[in-house]
Amino acid sequence: MKSAAFWGVLAAILAGGLALTAVLENEYYYNALYLILQATLMAVAWNILGGFTGYVNFGSAAFFAMGAYTTVALNKALGLPLPLLILAGGAVGGLVGFGLGYLTLRLKGVYFAIATLAMAIVIETFISNWTYVGGARGAYMLTPDQHLWFNSYIQMLFMVMLLLTLAAVAISRMLSSSRLGRGLAAIRDDEVAAESAGVPTLRLKLVSTTVMGAMMGVAGAPFPYFVTFVDPVSAFNLFIAVNAIAMPMIGGTGHWIGPVIGALLVGSMQEIVKVTVSSELNVLIVGVMLVVFITLAPQGIVGLVRKHWQRRKS
Amino acid sequence: MSAPLPLLQVSGLTKRFGGFVALDNVDLHVGAGERLGLIGPNGSGKTTMINCISGALFNDMGGIRFDGQDITRMLPHRRARLGVARSFQIPKPFRSMTVLENLRVPLEYAARARAGQRHIIDEAMELLESIGLKHCAQHNSAGLTQVDMRKLELARALAVKPRLLVSDEAMAGLSSAEVDEILEILLALNKRGVAVIMIEHIMRAVMRFSQRIVVLDAGHKIAEGTPDEIVSNPDVERAYLGE
């Protein structure tokens, strides 16, 4: 996609979101859209490490929860406004990502994946026992009265999440076609060969885990305002981590658009099924789709489209 | 009068894997622009030696100096930036990338500090042309033929803009004509002043290529000299053919 067209599409989506808040009142739609966007942001973040760099992270929920709990803690301690809380959530998520990267740099493949899972459990245990943020009982968040010019607070949260997601997509796209992105791809393809091509693999992996962690922290920061009650069970929900893996896999991990396609597709199906059939069935959807795609189209939707194009060309 | 400092100076190199001594107190030097052949039976420690030179493995004892600088504990990517390049015995292309992109990585990373301000793509295309891969610049690297894969492996090492190239069996499994092709590439590279260490089992190629040959056997250096001296060396004959 040409750069001008890309930025044009982003601007159009943002304008579309604003227009929507002017005409559509029903709060349910903003709830659903917020959840889809949150999943998209998480999928884009996961893909930075999982897709671009080739390191599978099973602990996404921990980064998300760190963002959410940063909001809970800082809101209680200082009463900061939302934009600052999002920045703080990103900083804490990035720091956790850096720490994870630093501790697990030498682990490869499945061992790295296991370490991320273990890290998520350690952090969850820590949060569950930290009474200042509610511990295992959870914490209530009051919805602030002001919501700028929007009709309701959820409308504003929806716009905030839209903005954050678009920013993450733009960062992911810039990264994938940059020198840094090629270095990450070299690590994914062959770490030893990357080193001898001059790629500082340790440093680049740290950059990758940090950017991923920061994006996930940002995704989690507005969450307490969205649900108004956070406890470890909801913030560290396995479903968040599963979605973050499944959506890029279904969309295609090799390309920046892959996780976006996967998240929009699976996310909207989940929301539709939630209201039309059952609120439990949406977990089944992602499971079935993941199995189908991994066996039939391991390169995801992007891979299918690419194969189709190549066949038409030749 | 002292001899000029060699480009690469390996002294007393020892590398153990558990109780197995893969290299035992081996000395090796390569002058600037020199062509050195490194031969020996299977398991004699050749690949371990270049893994230590390139930094993929750290040696247990001894030291490695490159251009007067101690690089014994330096990470591989830093050595690549200094101009130590290697090709792998089993080609390791960046499989998700095109042939052209494969060269972009070393040009953008290893050669960046030393390269001129030329356009990366032009430079990569030039390299591909010189090695005979220009026609598949946009092809995916995973789908190359065996000989093209070897060429890409060499091209990627050349994109490091090395002062020393270590070529690990770049010709294994190739036909006679293909061997000559690779040999010409290495000779042309050497003409431009790059020192080359060639590890090879194809004796015809090593003898033609090398100015000097070092023979390893079971982790020891058993002989060193010109190709003619090596051919008539009884220790070498014993190592290869037995008593």
pLDDT tens-digit map of A43-91: 999 999 999 999 999 999 999 999 999 999 999 899 888 999 999 999 9
Helices (H) and strands (E) in chain B, counts: 9, 10
**Ramachandran category for residue B144: left, alpha or beta (phi over 0 → left; psi -120 to 50 → alpha):** beta
List phi, psi (to 5°) of B13.
Answer: -70, 125
Q: Is the pLDDT of residue A105 over 80?
A: no
Q: Is the pLDDT of residue A24 over 70?
A: yes
Tell me what the mean pLDDT of segment A271-290 comes to.
83
Q: Is the pLDDT of residue B170 over 70?
A: yes
Per DSSP bridges, beta strands B220-225 and B35-39 are unpaired
Closest partner residue to A198 (CB to CB) among B81, B94, B96 is B81
Q: Are A165 and A174 in contact (CB under 8 A)?
A: no
With an 8 Å Cβ cutoff, are A195 and B88 in contact? Answer: no
- Ranges of beta strands (E only) in B67-180 are 69-70, 84-87, 164-168
Instruction: Write down the pLDDT at residue A279.
Output: 75
Q: Which of B93, B111, B103, B86 is nearest to B198 (CA)?
A: B86
Q: Looking at the complex, report in whole angstroms how far the Cα of residue B110 sits from the nearest Cα belonging to chain A.
A: 4
Interface test with B, best of A196, A205, A256 (most B CBs within 10 A): A196
Longest CA–CA separation in chain B, Å: 58
Q: Which of A129, A149, A121, A153 is nearest to A227 (CA)?
A: A153
Query: At B117, is the pLDDT very low, low, confident or very high (cuts 50, 70, 90)?
Result: low
Q: Is the pLDDT of residue B48 over 80?
A: yes
Q: Which of A287, A227, A292, B206 is nearest to B215 (CA)?
A: B206
Non-local CB neighbours of A49 within 8 Å, separated by 6+ positions: A55, A57, A208, A209, A212
Q: Looking at the complex, report in whole angstroms how far the Cα of residue A16 sits from the nearest Cα belonging to chain B.
A: 36
Count of Cβ atoms closer than 10 Å to residue A68 Cβ: 33
Q: Which residues of B touch A188 (CB under 8 A)?
A: 96
Q: Which of A260, A229, A231 is nearest to A247 (CA)?
A: A260
Average pLDDT, chain A: 91
**Helix or strand or coil: residue B224?**
strand
- Closest CA in chain A for residue B81: A198
Q: Is the pLDDT of residue A307 over 50?
A: yes
Q: Looking at the complex, report in whole angstroms how far the Cα of residue B205 sits from the nearest Cα belonging to chain A.
A: 25
Which amino acid appears at position A31 of this protein? N
Tell me what the mean pLDDT of segment A171-188 comes to.
95
Q: How far apart are CA A39 and CA A244, in angstroms?
A: 7
CA dihedral A162, A167, A173, A176 (to 10 degrees): -130
Per DSSP bridges, beta strands B35-39 and B212-217 are parallel
Q: Which of A39, A46, A37 is nearest to A172 (CA)?
A: A46
With an 8 Å Cβ cutoff, are B75 and A194 in contact? Answer: no
Q: Are A71 and A89 in contact (CB under 8 A)?
A: yes
Which amino acid appears at position A82 of this protein? L
Read off the DSSP letter of residue A51. I
Boundaries of every domain in chain B: 8-241
Tell me what the mean pLDDT of segment B46-53 comes to.
93
Q: How far apart are CA B70 and CA B11, in angstroms?
A: 11
Q: Which of A87, A74, A91, A60 is nearest to A133 (CA)?
A: A74
Query: At B116, is the pLDDT very low, low, confident or very high (cuts 50, 70, 90)?
Result: low
Instruction: Write down the pLDDT at residue B84.
Output: 95
Q: How far apart are CA A142 and CA A227, in angstroms?
A: 10
Q: Are B224 and B217 in contact (CB under 8 A)?
A: no
**CA pseudo-torsion sign A229, A234, A239, A243:** positive
Least confident of A74-78, A114-118, B109-113, B188-192: B109-113
Q: How far apart are CA A310 and CA A26, in angstroms?
A: 44
Looking at chain B, the whole-number percentage of residues with pLDDT higher than 90 is: 67
Interface test with A, best of B57, B74, B94, B112 (most A CBs within 10 A): B94
| Number of Cα atoms under 13 Å in the Cβ half of residue A130 | 16
Count of Cβ atoms closer than 10 Å to residue B31 Cβ: 16
As a CATH number, domain B8-241 is 3.40.50.300
Closest partner residue to B80 (CB to CB) among A189, A196, A254 is A196
Q: How far apart are CA A76 and CA A165, in angstroms?
A: 26
CA dihedral A289, A290, A294, A299 (to 10 degrees): 90
A177 vs B: CB within 8 A = no
Least confident of A281-290, B170-179, B217-226: A281-290
Instruction: Write down the pLDDT at residue B107.
Output: 94
Read off the DSSP letter of residue A91. H
Boundaries of every domain in chain A: 3-238
With an 8 Å Cβ cutoff, are B94 and A192 in contact? Answer: no
- Closest CA in chain B for residue A177: B101
Q: Looking at the complex, report in whole angstroms how far the Cα of residue A109 sits from the nearest Cα belonging to chain B.
A: 17
Q: Are B62 and B25 in contact (CB under 8 A)?
A: yes
DSSP, residue by residue, A202-228: HHHHHHHHHHHHHHHHHHHTTHHHHHS
Q: Any idea which residue has 């969205």 for tokens?
A: A226
Q: Is the pLDDT of residue B53 over 50?
A: yes
With an 8 Å Cβ cutoff, are B77 and A196 in contact? Answer: yes
Q: Any idea which residue has 């062959």 for tokens?
A: A190
Instruction: Write down the pLDDT at residue A93.
Output: 97
Query: At B236, is the pLDDT very low, low, confident or very high (cuts 50, 70, 90)?
Result: confident
- Closest CA in chain B for residue A190: B94
In residues, how long is chain A? Answer: 314
Q: Is the pLDDT of residue B26 over 60?
A: yes
Instruction: Write down the pLDDT at residue B3.
Output: 59
Q: Which residues of B touch A197 (CB under 8 A)?
A: 77, 80, 105-106, 109-110, 156, 159-160
Query: At B1, is the pLDDT very low, low, confident or very high (cuts 50, 70, 90)?
Result: very low
